[in-house]
Amino acid sequence: MSESAVVNVQPSANRAGKVLRQMIVAAGPLLVLMLMVLFLWVTAPAFRTPTSLLLIGLEAAAIGVVAAGQTFVILTGGIDLSVEAMVSFSGVVAAILIAGTNIAGGQIAFGIPAAAAILIALAAGTGVGLLQGLIITALNINPFIVTLGFRSILLGISLVWTRGAGINIQKDEFLSFLTGHIELGSLRIPMPLIIALILYAIVWVTLRHTKLGRYTYALGGNETAARLSGINVGMTKIIIYGISGLLASIGGILVMGRLQSGAYQNGTNMTLISVAAVVIGGTALSGGTGGIWGTLVGVFIIRVVEAGLVYLSVPSNAKEIVIGAIIVLAVALDVLRRGDIPWLRIRRKSSA
């Protein structure tokens, strides 16, 4: 073989190796999920039932919708720490309007129809999200600070309005439909899961086939370059935080409807879990890369882990330890994907 042939083969091999690594990184979360399901399928007989799998889907629905909104924000290089408070806030607003009172144990069926109450709650959540985006852009404040502040504000409002107790409601036909099931043969598919999947399809189309989606990735890739290219960075951010507020509010309605109660605790831990799901699914915390379906896989990984702890009879107190470990691992994986570890870069250069 001639020297020129050897030279030509080497770049081709390098390109093939790079493509293979990219495929492994892209499919990594899905492979992890499949291995986890296989492990529980073998070790936990109760996990094999369709009811068990559909229950995991139901548990994943609300946090999945919240994580979809978080994906939008993180793709721009920001973060929304207010989502768990938004879940509680929207549920409390809807529950008070449906019940006709903010007194726990009071009248529970003399308010406005659930459909109207839900629309008002969603409008309120979207408005708060838009306000956060406006403050972030107009005052040039770090999203971490703004959303952290609104987390406290929204939780405080929910706590004051409910006096620390849940507002119980009765379901009407509309709310029963949103939180019910669809019969498919012998299977009962949870409606919240169907709603979540529909929303994920809408988000995917938005991110991949609209100007807003292209602008979202552009902001995360290089905000300065995006501004110089003519993108209205401020307006794009405002819209994205509004979308996050809307999707978090939808998650809050799903939780409130399922529990038949609006309470300030309804969104507990959803911020951490949503961020972990987004990062586990392959979206970089620095923004610019990632996708919505990876987030869905990340949500299911977390919910399957939680279910596995139950099926394997692990003490419930260990759940917080495991969730914390998952979050740390997710951030570590993000750092590894970006190659931001100096000593690892040095080893790669020396080996090359």
CA angle, 327 as apex, 323 and 330 as ends, to 5°? 135
Q: Specify whether the CB–CB gap between 251 and 60 falls below 8 A.
A: no
Percentage of residues in the chain with pLDDT exceeding 70? 86
Characterize the bridge pairing of strands 181-184 and 187-190: antiparallel
- The confidence score (pLDDT) of residue 57 equals 93
Owner of token pair 């081709």 = 12
Owner of token pair 């991110």 = 207
Q: How many residues in the chain?
A: 352
Query: Quick one: 115 exposed, middle or buried, by C-beta within 10 A (0-12, 13-18, 19+)?
Result: middle
In three-state secondary structure terms, 141 is coil
Residue 3 has pLDDT above 60, yes or no: no
CA dist., res. 96 & res. 118, Å (int): 11
Rg over alpha carbons for the chain, rounded to the nearest Å, is 22
What confidence category does residue 1 fall into, taking pLDDT thresholds of 50, 70 and 90?
A: low
**Which run of H or of E encompasses 184?**
strand 181-184
> Where does residue 100 fall: left (phi above 0), alpha (psi -120 to 50 degrees), or beta otherwise?
left
CATH of domain 40-351: 1.10.3470
What confidence category does residue 172 fall into, taking pLDDT thresholds of 50, 70 and 90?
A: confident
pLDDT in tens, 238-274: 999 999 999 999 999 999 999 999 999 999 889 999 9
CA dist., res. 95 & res. 167, Å (int): 6
Which of 177-186, 294-303, 341-350 shows the highest mean pLDDT?
294-303
Mean per-residue pLDDT, 48-69 = 93
CA dist., res. 80 & res. 61, Å (int): 19
In three-state secondary structure terms, 291 is coil
pLDDT in tens, 261-316: 999 999 988 999 999 999 988 898 888 888 999 999 999 999 999 898 888 888 87
- Positive or negative torsion for Cα 142, 143, 148, 153: positive
DSSP code, position 316: T
In three-state secondary structure terms, 46 is helix
Across all residues in the chain, what is the average pLDDT? 86
Structure tokens at 329: 């691992």
Q: How crowded is the C-beta side of 94, counted as CA atoms within 13 Å?
A: 36
pLDDT in tens, 205-241: 999 999 999 999 999 999 999 999 999 999 999 999 9
CA dist., res. 201 & res. 196, Å (int): 9
Mean per-residue pLDDT, 66-75 = 96
Query: Quick one: 214 exposed, middle or buried, by C-beta within 10 A (0-12, 13-18, 19+)?
Result: middle
**Domain-wise residue ranges, the chain:** 40-351
| 223-239 exposure pattern, b = at least 16 Cβ within 10 A, e = fewer | beebeeeebebeebbbb
| 52-76 exposure pattern, b = at least 16 Cβ within 10 A, e = fewer | bbbebbbbbbbbbbbbbbbbbbbbb
Phi, psi of 187 (to 5 degrees): -95, 145
Which one-letter amino acid corresponds to residue 114?
A
pLDDT in tens, 87-127: 999 999 999 999 887 777 655 556 889 999 999 999 999 99
Which one-letter amino acid corresponds to residue 156?
G
With CA atoms as reference, report the closest residue to 258 among 34, 17, 55, 76.
55
Residue 325 has pLDDT above 70, yes or no: yes
Q: When comparing pLDDT for 184 and 252, which is higher?
A: 252
- The confidence score (pLDDT) of residue 23 equals 58
With CA atoms as reference, report the closest residue to 93 among 126, 44, 132, 48.
126
Residue 5 has pLDDT above 60, yes or no: no
What confidence category does residue 9 fall into, taking pLDDT thresholds of 50, 70 and 90?
A: low
What confidence category does residue 163 fall into, taking pLDDT thresholds of 50, 70 and 90?
A: confident
Which one-letter amino acid corresponds to residue 52?
S
- The confidence score (pLDDT) of residue 74 equals 96
Give the list of residues 6+ apart from residue 33 with CB closer than 8 angstroms, or none: 297, 300, 301, 304
